[in-house]
Amino acid sequence: MDIVKIIGVGLIALIIIVVIRQYKPEFTMYVSIIAGAIILFLVLDKVTGIITLLTSLSKKTGINSEYLSILLKITGIAILTEFAVSICKDAGETAIASKVDLGGKIIIISMSIPIISALLEIIMKIIP
């Protein structure tokens, strides 16, 4: 069960952070980043399976692979942005966290324009 590994890493990191915070609080952020990287590594196998499944489904349904690629990139940006925002908030920098969040959202919107355009074209073909 992968969730047990993920929870284990999270709880161990939490215990380490609580102990380290008493003596060297500046190192707590490093522990948080390392724990996050380990968790991302643990779920990487699942992400590969999801990408493979979506690729095979897009080939079967005839969906343009460019759109699938864009959706996967958008999902990756959202995950990485959330990771960075969480680290900023852990460090107490909520102002920077909100700017990173805003930047991620703007990039996601700009990347989704080809999909939105294709969707609008389909709607215009359906509506006389």
Q: Average pLDDT over the chain, rounded to whole?
A: 89
Q: What are phi and psi of 92, to 5 degrees?
A: 85, 10
- Give the integer Cα–Cα distance in Å for 70 and 75: 9
- Give the integer Cα–Cα distance in Å for 46 and 55: 14
**pLDDT of amino acid 87:** 86
Rounded to 5 degrees, what angle do the CA atoms 8, 100, 18 make? 30
Residue percentage of the chain with pLDDT more than 70: 99
Contact 104, 98 (CB under 8 A): no
Please give the model's pTM, rounded to 2 decimal places: 0.77
Scanning the structure block, which residue is given the tokens 């940006």? 77
DSSP H helical ranges for the chain: 2-23, 28-61, 65-90, 94-111, 113-126
For range 82-107, the mean pLDDT = 91
Contact 5, 42 (CB under 8 A): yes
**Residue 90's pLDDT band (cuts 50, 70, 90):** confident
pLDDT tens for residues 75-88? 989 999 998 998 88
